[in-house]
Amino acid sequence: MLSTHYAVTGNVAVISLDHPPVNGLALAARQGLLRDVTRALESSEIGSIVLTGNGRIFSAGADITEFGTPDALAEPSLRTLIEALEDAPKPVVAAIDGVCFGGGLELALGAHYRVAAAAARIALPEVKLGLVPGAGGTQRLPRVLGLRAAADMITDGAARTAAVLAELPGQKLLDLVVDTDVESAAVRFAESLGNSVPLPRIRDLTVDRDEDLAPLRATLAKRGRGLRAPLVALDLVEQARGPFSDGTSAERAAFTQLVDDGQSAGLRHAFFAERAAQNVPGVTKDTTARTVSKVAVVGAGTMGTGIAMNFLNAGIPVALSESSREALLRGVATIRRTYEAQVEKGRLAYTAFVDRMSLLETSLEYADLASCDLVIEAVFEDMDVKRAVFTELDAVMKPGAILASNTSTLDIDLIAEFTRRPSDVVGLHFFSPANVMSLLEIVRPKKVSDEVLATALEVARRIGKVPVVAGVCDGFIGNRMLARYRRAADDLLEAGASPGQIDSAIEQFGYAMGPYRASDLSGGDIGWAVRKRQYLENPDVRRNEIADELCEMGRFGQKTGAGWYDYEDGRRDAVPSPVVAELLASYYQRNGIRPQSYSAESIVQRLVFSLVDEGARILEEGIALRASDIDVVYIAGYGFPRYRGGPMYYAETVGLSTVEAALRADGIEPAPLLVELARDGRTFD
């Protein structure tokens, strides 16, 4: 079965891609297109061709499931197809609706004309998989958008609407943008062309403005944290200044090189891992998710306000509830301020801001929440407070409402027992800032129903979160591993490494921020409060003397102008601190420690392998369903470099026996699962 349709309207051949769900350009689609284009060119009744996609989607590009199979390389290749369009003696018009990504856009760039729906989303997202466009995209797009606009689009991989692209000065990408049916507009456009020759070919255009791409290069080098593809893409865009064929040869060579690059493999792993995380045992196609049309959020502090914004942003009404009027007003003011700042920066339309605020209700009474379909609790992290809140919610919420807690550390199985409906209680663990961070840990208490889990997954999808299901344990997946990572960093500190050495090693590895800079940003007082409580509860718990001493000096980080680093004149630049150096020196002396020196590589190993070891335990205990879920948590929630695929995947690329040996060398008895897999030469998944 070839995945295209051929129809004739007047003297226009309408060729539609029909390869659900997103008209991916798999072999059957490419073969169908070539057959239909040939047929239209051979028919004396046909004057022009319109290329479109069924289901109001043009094409989302290459079929990613074909990757690495012989079909991916089989003819007709996308390049062959594009040449056939571009060289066609009859006009070819691409009718772009819905989504036009990657190879789909490259195909449309091979057409002589492009008509698009204003809302159609257009992108070359290859860099997100560590690749560059491989079928002329890096050479044709600069010729129609100009160097800078094309470079922005190719290096960030993000989608722009046709309406936005049509506004770019001097753009030749879109010939017509319509709010009506694209296909019929394209047919009319094709009919209006008559026998105009020669047909315009993008490859024949030259880049007319010489824009300086050096500032973009500097930004990419800084932000990419070692990611290669955007810089390679930029080099290719620069080549569009020269002859077309030189540019496409360079593009082909770069593409081939990047496909075999470890970074692309890591990014592809991350992509598939996010998909796999949505498969949860017990939740099948037949599990019906409950309808969620209104959400209540209890507690309007740091997390509650961020959580509420997720729903408002998605057009879902929210009732925000607090224990005091003051706290409620503060919460609403936080939400308003966040949106106002976005409006000021031009990131949010004023009308959208008004719409979002109009979806927000406030309440000081539990009874007001009764009709909500989902309630998310984000009150103080204290079991007695949680008990009080869940008892009240249980009393008022309508039957079938889902009761969720955002707790980070408390036992949700116990929280569920505060209600008479434990099967409706689930953990929805958002990360701070909750309106920004994409991770959502869905914590699965023992008694929760599959229907509630299915609803949680569906809610995550609607608000654009990356969900991962975790079992109940202290810290769930992410924070439990983070504690090990922090412990590993502190061990190094106590043995002689400086905060600067540790941070810069892990930042070189690709993290946005090392543990000490991160602590200075979030505030050392938070961890200190937790530690003080632990010391009281358990006098035998290992003390973190250095961090405690730092806090006793009032050095809480950026907010106090000093922490693990100094921050001069309210600036955010972390400057190595002589006070901290002194504090460490006296710690070593007091404890008779001869400070060791560590290579950046050994620091990274210590930190990352501690994550892997804890991850293996989490997997063994069934807290995570699969190793790749742990990778998703670390990439989406903790700044692990995406191109390294996550800690568990990274461990596999290094070799599990290497990880095991390194852990033992550091005096750590590795997780039994890790030992077993290393012995058998197996991997985690």
Catalytic residues: 106, 126
Output 262 or 527, the one with its CB closest to ligand NAD. Answer: 527
**Residue of closest CB approach to ligand NAD:** 301
Q: Is 527 in the site for ligand NAD (CB under 6 A)?
A: no
Q: Is 2 in the site for ligand NAD (CB under 6 A)?
A: no
Length of the chain: 685
Site string for ligand NAD, 372-391 (x = CB under 6 A): ------xxxx---x--xx--
Nearest Cα to Cα of residue 465 among 322, 614, 633, 260: 633
Who contacts 368 (Cβ-Cβ below 8 Å, separation ≥6)? 319, 321, 361
Who contacts 211 (Cβ-Cβ below 8 Å, separation ≥6)? 146, 147, 148
- Stretch of 336-344, 404-412, 588-596, 669-677 contacting ligand NAD, by CB under 6 A: 404-412
Which DSSP string corresponds to 131-146?
----SSHHHHHHHHH-
Output 141 or 460, the one with its CB closest to ligand NAD. Answer: 460
Q: Is 483 in the site for ligand NAD (CB under 6 A)?
A: no
Who contacts 657 (Cβ-Cβ below 8 Å, separation ≥6)? 678, 679
Output 59 or 407, the one with its CB closest to ligand NAD. Answer: 407
Output 434 or 603, the one with its CB closest to ligand NAD. Answer: 434
Minimum separation from the CB atom of position 311 to ligand NAD (A): 16
If you search the block for the tokens 């390049």, which residue do you land on? 79
- Would you say 116 and 96 are in contact if contact means Cβ atoms under 8 Å apart? yes
Minimum separation from the CB atom of position 458 to ligand NAD (A): 21
Q: Report the site for ligand NAD in 203-232 (rule: CB under 6 A).
A: none
Biggest CA pair distance of the chain: 93
Minimum separation from the CB atom of position 309 to ligand NAD (A): 13
One-letter amino acid at 213 equals L
Degrees, nearest 5: CA angle 356-357-359:
70
Which listed residue (279, 284, 432, 599) binds ligand NAD by CB under 6 A?
432
Site string for ligand NAD, 237-266 (x = CB under 6 A): ------------------------------
Minimum separation from the CB atom of position 368 to ligand NAD (A): 12
Which DSSP string corresponds to 201-239?
-GGG----S----HHHHHHHHHHHTT--HHHHHHHHHHH
Which listed residue (48, 310, 406, 558) binds ligand NAD by CB under 6 A?
406
Output 173 or 312, the one with its CB closest to ligand NAD. Answer: 312
Site string for ligand NAD, 310-339 (x = CB under 6 A): -----------xxx---x------------
Output 344 or 384, the one with its CB closest to ligand NAD. Answer: 384
Q: Is 350 in the site for ligand NAD (CB under 6 A)?
A: no
Tokens of 436: 């920004």
Nearest Cα to Cα of residue 174 among 191, 162, 187, 157: 162
Q: Report the site for ligand NAD in 292-311 (rule: CB under 6 A).
A: 298-304
CA–CA gap between residue 238 and residue 211 (Å, rounded): 10
Minimum separation from the CB atom of position 406 to ligand NAD (A): 4
Q: Where are the beta strands (DSSP E) in 357-473?
A: 360-363, 374-377, 402-405, 425-430, 439-444, 466-471
Output 350 or 380, the one with its CB closest to ligand NAD. Answer: 380
Which DSSP string corresponds to 523-571?
-HHHHHHHHHHHHHH-TTSPP-HHHHHHHHTT--BGGGTBSSEE-GGG-
Minimum separation from the CB atom of position 670 to ligand NAD (A): 29
Q: Is 470 in the site for ligand NAD (CB under 6 A)?
A: no
Output 166 or 388, the one with its CB closest to ligand NAD. Answer: 388
Q: Is 441 in the site for ligand NAD (CB under 6 A)?
A: no
Nearest Cα to Cα of residue 94 among 149, 50, 31: 50
If you search the block for the tokens 């070799």, which residue do you land on? 655
- Would you say 513 and 489 are in contact if contact means Cβ atoms under 8 Å apart? no
Site string for ligand NAD, 530-559 (x = CB under 6 A): ------------------------------
- Stretch of 78-86, 310-318, 429-437, 483-491 contacting ligand NAD, by CB under 6 A: 429-437
Tokens of 138: 């890096």
Output 304 or 615, the one with its CB closest to ligand NAD. Answer: 304
Q: Is 427 in the site for ligand NAD (CB under 6 A)?
A: no
Minimum separation from the CB atom of position 8 to ligand NAD (A): 59
Which DSSP string corresponds to 624-635?
BSSHHHHHHHHH
**What count of Cα atoms within 13 Å lies in the side-chain half-sphere of residue 118?**
5
Minimum separation from the CB atom of position 479 to ligand NAD (A): 8
Alpha carbon 273 to its chain's center: 12
Minimum separation from the CB atom of position 321 to ligand NAD (A): 6
Output 313 or 323, the one with its CB closest to ligand NAD. Answer: 323
Q: Is 369 in the site for ligand NAD (CB under 6 A)?
A: no
For 146, 512, 560, 611, the CA distances from 605, given in Å and listed in that order, are 44, 17, 32, 10
* Binding interface with ligand NAD (CB under 6 A): 298-304, 321-323, 327, 378-381, 385, 388-389, 406-408, 430-432
